[in-house]
Amino acid sequence: MTMPDCIFCKIVNKELPSDIVYEDDNVIVIKDANPKAPVHFLIIPKKHILSVDHIELEDKALMGDLILTAKKIAKEKNLKGYRLLINVGREGGQVIDHIHLHLLSGNQ
């Protein structure tokens, strides 16, 4: 489930500090440390999956959870509109090799 040298696994395991917005059995939501919009959250599955390229059929429900969590947080935070973004691979802008959904709002 976890990878020893993965920053997001360490955040999930509370071995590294983060600003946690929401957490349940499968997902954690944190504030992005270097926000690219007035509201910038990262929705992270607790399971270590490297990227969208590494999703398996068994991860289908978990990927749905990420989007439902985004909707829940957006509602809680009263966001009028927002963007959801997943970077895939270095050439797709992915820097951290643990899949995550960016929730961005407030810069349109």
- Binding residues for ligand AMP restricted to 58-87, rule: CB under 6 A: 87
Q: How many residues touch ligand AMP (CB under 6 A)? A: 12
Residue of the chain from 66, 69, 94, 98 that contacts Zn ion (CB under 5 A): 98
Stretch near ligand AMP under the rule CB under 6 A, chosen from 21-29, 57-65, 74-82, 88-96: 88-96
Q: Please tell me the distance from the alpha carbon of residue 16 to that of residue 8, in angstroms, as a whole number.
A: 9
57: partner contacted, choices Zn ion, ligand AMP, none (Cβ within 5-8 A by kind): none
3 lines the binding site for Zn ion (CB under 5 A): yes
Q: Which of 18, 41, 43, 73 binds ligand AMP (CB under 6 A)?
A: 18
Phi, psi torsion values for 89, nearest 5 degrees? 80, 160
Torsion of CA 108, 84, 88, 21, to 10 degrees: 110
- Give the whole-angstrom CA distance, residue 22 versus residue 30: 7
Report CA Rg, the chain.
Answer: 13
Is position 100 annotated as part of the catalytic site? yes
Residues catalogued as catalytic: 100
